[in-house]
Amino acid sequence: MDRLNVIQRNILAQFMELTNMADEEYAAAILASVDWTIEKAFDEFQAQQDDPYHHPPSAPLPQVTADFNEYNLGHSPSSGYSSRPSGSKVTLSSNGVDSGSGSASSLMVAAGDAPAARSTDVTEHRDGAAFEIASDDEPDDREYYEYDDDTEEVLRSINNPISRNRPSLIPLNWTSEEDATSNFAAVFEARYGGVHPFFHIGTLRSALREAFETPDIMERRPLAIYLHDDNSIACNIFAEKVVCSSIVSDLLNAQYVTWAWDVTLSENKEKLIEWLQELNMHAVLSRVQHTRTDNYPLVLSVVSSKSQTQLIDCAQGHEYINDVSDKLMLGLSKFVEIKNSDKKEESDRIEREQIRREQQEEYDKALAADRARVQEEEREKQILLEAEQEEQRKLSVKNSRCESAKNMLPPEPAATEKEVITFKVRFPGGNAKIRRFHKSDKLKSLIYFVESEGFFMEDYRIWDSSVPKRNITAFDSAHTFQHYEFPAREQVIVEEI
């Protein structure tokens, strides 16, 4: 591998690290066959995994030259430079990289050649643009690369899909968030295949509602926000190898509501920041504002408690499948705790409401019983009042009829007068009264007398004392006593019909 230059070795190390490939020669051959483009190399590697009889086209490794200026960074490396002793320098001319300042750009090799083993500790510093790569086998054997901003930009362009004019996940001309997220899902699937998380189509607010506002608490799910940036060197590797892996995508589909957005274009990123501010998602907003482009894509695990969103963890574009799944599981476990707590609170609330409802029902029943009792008492009083009024009316009518009947009576003759007939009238209840009439008085006079005492003929009958007794009320009351030959003394009985 001494024939590779620094940039090629950097690409080779990334490729071997992400594919877990141990054979440097084979990995370099794949890269060389596809013009040292990582994305195409992954496609070739995947094709070989799927078809063991598929082999990459043979391509010789590039020749090593002593002058780094002969390497054209904008194209596939066709020349390189040999291993150099510690402390040596290489000058970058305008043929490959123009420093932009007029002075020669420099790359310092502070140690021996970089180890071929997969690197595990990568630290990137923006100031000075230095990358530190440590070997797994020899922790102390480190190689430092220093280069200026123009060189860093060239390295980024090697894996920058924007430079290849691919369709944007979310273009600038979207008219609604539904259209934008639908376009994201379609282009994402076209790029990375059909195995991927199911992205929520709609606004971020609607995704929050679907995740956290379902009526059944146990049906609620945490929210995963996937943010993609095509300007990041890891965007395609992370999307295809991590997000679209069965482990991560199955976990997201089963346990999360996943909402995605593309922040490649600054206008779309500003729109996302605006939405996060409106929704008071301050932790997510801070992460978006302070995350560097090379750390994208992001997978943010968001939960909600007491109507307040919380950012549990954030996976970045340089992380592995296990790292991302562990962070998603952490978010899931936190949300399960929140759901259990909310469920207990809801159960306690339902129990309290049930107790209050039962108490209210008992109170309502007692109140209804009291009202019914009062109404019954009022009704009985009304009945009694009406009965009394009816009795008063009947009594008034009776008194009026009695008075009228009394006024119809002829004058009572004296006992010493002749042609007088005396009636002893027995009334119901045992009372008896004596009344004298002239024999020439009419029979109706006796009826008037009986009615003047309150016994009216529609309810009573008058019987004489003959055997068999006769119903006097059936006689013609217009005839006189003498006509019916009543004796001088006669006893009659008033009976109720």
Instruction: Check if the beta carbon of residue 404 is closer than 8 Å to that of residue 447.
Output: no
DSSP E strands in 40-150: the ranges are 63-64, 79-80, 89-92, 105-109, 121-125, 130-134, 142-146
> Is there a single domain that holds both residue 184 and residue 314?
yes
For residue range 272-315, what is the model confidence (pLDDT) as tens digits? Answer: 999 999 999 999 999 999 999 999 999 999 999 888 999 999 99
pLDDT band at 448 (very low <50, low <70, confident <90, very high): very high
Report d(CA 138, CA 112) in Å as an integer. Answer: 12
Backbone φ and ψ for 288, nearest 5 degrees, come out as -65, -40
pLDDT at res. 41: 84
Q: Is residue 196 included in any domain, yes or no?
A: yes
User: pTM of this prediction?
Assistant: 0.48
What is the spatial distance between Cα 157 and Cα 15, in angstroms, rounded to a whole number?
16
Within-domain flag for 396: no
**Residue of higher predicted confidence among 164 and 282:** 282
Token pair in block for residue 476? 């013609």
Residues 170-212: tens digit of each pLDDT: 988 899 999 999 999 999 999 999 899 999 999 999 999 999 9
Identify the three-state secondary structure at position 434. Answer: strand
pLDDT digits (tens, 9 = 90+) for 209-233: 999 999 888 899 999 999 999 999 9
pLDDT for 357: 92
For the ranges 72-76, 166-170, 181-185, 316-320, the lowest mean pLDDT is seen at: 72-76
Contact 434, 424 (CB under 8 A): yes
> 436 and 315 in one domain?
no
Give the structural domain span for 18: 6-50
Residue 90 in contact with residue 68, Cβ under 8 Å?
yes
8-state DSSP, 166: P
Residues 325 and 432 in one domain: no
Find the range with the poorest average confidence among 93-102, 137-146, 281-290, 438-447: 93-102
Rounded-to-integer distance, Cα 289 and Cα 287, Å: 6
The number of distinct structural domains making up the chain is: 3
Q: Is residue 351 part of a domain?
A: no
Beta-carbon contacts of 23 under 8 Å, excluding residues fewer than 6 positions away, are none
Phi then psi for residue 84, to 5 deg, are -120, 155
Domain with residue 210: its CATH number is 3.40.30.10
In a domain, 151, yes or no: no
Within a domain: 129 = no
Cβ atoms of 294 and 237 closer than 8 Å: no
- Do 335 and 209 belong together in one domain? yes
Can you list the pairs that 184-192 forms with residues at least 24 positions away whose Cβ atoms lie under 8 Å? 184/228, 184/260, 184/261, 184/262, 185/260, 188/228, 188/239, 188/260, 191/166, 191/236, 191/239, 191/240, 192/236, 192/239, 192/240, 192/243, 192/244
Q: Which of 113-117, 201-205, 406-410 has the lowest mean pLDDT?
A: 113-117
- What local confidence, expressed as pLDDT, does residue 85 receive? 34
Residues 338, 204, single domain; the answer is: yes
Question: 278 and 184, same structural domain?
Answer: yes
Q: Tell me the CATH number at 471.
A: 3.10.20.90
> Which pLDDT does position 86 carry in this prediction?
33
Does 319 lie in the same domain as 209? yes
pLDDT above 60 for 91: no
pLDDT at 345: 86
Does the residue 22 lie in any domain? yes
Which stretch of DSSP H or E encloses residue 257? strand 257-262
Mean pLDDT across 115-121: 34
Q: Is residue 379 scored above 70 in pLDDT?
A: yes
pLDDT at 328 over 60: yes
pLDDT of residue 467: 85
181 shares its domain with 43: no
Answer yes or no: do 321 and 433 share one domain. no
Domain boundary among the residues 345, 367, 385 is at 345
* 316 and 452 inside one domain: no
Q: Is residue 293 included in any domain, yes or no? A: yes
In this predicted structure, the answer to whether residue 334 has a pLDDT above a threshold of 80 is: yes
CA distances from 171 to 176, 183, 391 (A): 12, 9, 97
Boundary-marking domain end, from 285, 312, 345: 345
Looking at residues 18-33, what average pLDDT do you find? 84
Looking at the fold, whether 338 and 189 belong to one and the same domain comes out as yes
425 assigned to some structural domain: yes
- The region of weakest confidence among 51-65, 238-252, 360-374, 396-410 is 51-65
Give yes or no: residues 186 and 329 share one domain.
yes
> For all residues of the chain together, what is the average pLDDT?
79
Summarize pLDDT for 336-348 with one digit per residue, the tens. 999 888 888 888 9
* Residue appearing with tokens 């009024």: 389
User: What is the rounded CA–CA span in Å between residue 170 and residue 150?
Assistant: 28
Spatial neighbors of 135 by CB under 8 A, at least 6 apart, are 114, 115, 117, 119, 141, 142
Collapsing DSSP to helix, strand or coil, 404 comes out as: helix
- Beta-strand pair 121-125/130-134: antiparallel
